Amino acid sequence: MSLLDRRILLVTGKGGVGKSTVCAALGLAAAAAGQKTLIAEVAGNTRMAEVFGLRSLGYEPTALARNLYGLSITPEAAIEDYVVQTIKVRTLFKLAFQNRVMGPFMDAVPGLHDAVQLGKIFDLERDRSALGRRSWDLIIVDAPATGHGLTMLSAPRSMMELTRGGPIFEGVRQVHDIIDDPRITAILLVALAEDMPVNETIELWGRLGPSQASVALCVCNEMSATPIPDEALWQATTALRGGERALDEAIELTRGARERALRQQHNRQRLQSALPIPTTELPLRPSRQLSLDELLSMGQTLLKAGGAA
């Protein structure tokens, strides 16, 4: 089953590993493959606007590229959206919920903020046009970093255990059933091939429990080129060393790059040994300011690794 056969892709990983870049790349590739695609940032993240040269994204979908849209979901907006859908009167929501009593109470409910944000994803997934066609072929969720991402994934179940019945229970049960179904939702883990990100990714895998069945791919981002062999480096060092400062610096830089590439290979092997899922890699680029063409190429690589033809 390929990534494009799912309807929701949840992308998570340690902060700073490039998961937003992976989301943008997947979005462009899916859109180019003919799928009307939405990238949803949660927890108020705003990285996607910068990637696509926009000032900001709001709670309503905004065009990012051909066939590709984006929005940013905050807990506050998602709670208001959910309550207004229920009571139908926005003024009543402001009177009943936006006050100094209810505000702190709602902040204290375990899992509420995360559950309502996933509830918005659920609403987007089931949204249909007047003709009955899905509004979105694919929704890509730029999920929070590892620890918070795990909490968000478990939020519907936490709310089910808290409520145990009633309309809120039924609502989060529906969200749980969609998010926890590997035929509908796939989870992608993003890591750098460095000690701490790899350790955290392996730990996350162990804590996912039943959600492991939904993990479709692990992405090693910013991988260096294959290091030159020992013999070639020795020959170059022997031939070039001779007191020229620039040459000596170049040799040391090459040696450092080789050592980094070897460490990355070791850490990628650790991931492959610990995670029984496909692992792919994206190359280190000279700049993190990537063009849309570069992102598209990366996304096509990811879709291929995820089973797309």
User: What tens digit of pLDDT does each residue of 226-284 get?
Assistant: 766 666 665 666 655 666 666 667 667 677 777 888 899 999 999 999 999 999 999 98
Q: How high is the pLDDT of residue 96?
A: 47
Q: How high is the pLDDT of residue 149?
A: 84
Flag residues of the chain having pLDDT under 50.
87, 89-90, 92-93, 95-96, 101, 105
3-225+277-304 is classed in which CATH architecture? 3-Layer(aba) Sandwich (3.40)
- Distance from the Cα of residue 12 to its chain's centroid: 4
Give all strands of the β-sheet with 215-223 in edge-to-edge order. Answer: 62-65, 68-72, 37-41, 138-142, 8-13, 185-192, 215-223, 279-283
Q: How high is the pLDDT of residue 242?
A: 60
And the tokens for 193?
A: 């091939």
Q: Which helix (H) or strand (E) holds 216?
A: strand 215-223
Residue 79 identity (one-letter amino acid): I
Q: How high is the pLDDT of residue 268?
A: 93
Cα–Cα distance measured from residue 309 to residue 297, given in angstroms and rounded to the nearest whole number: 15
| Contact by Cβ (8 Å): 160, 176 | yes
Q: Which residues pair with 185 in a beta bridge?
A: 8
Q: How high is the pLDDT of residue 270?
A: 94
Cα–Cα distance measured from residue 21 to residue 18, given in angstroms and rounded to the nearest whole number: 5
Q: How high is the pLDDT of residue 244?
A: 65
And the tokens for 63?
A: 């065009």
Q: What is the pLDDT of residues 68-78, one digit of tens each?
A: 999 999 888 88
Give domain limits for the chain: 3-225+277-304
Q: How high is the pLDDT of residue 92?
A: 45
**Look-up of token digits 């902060």:** 15
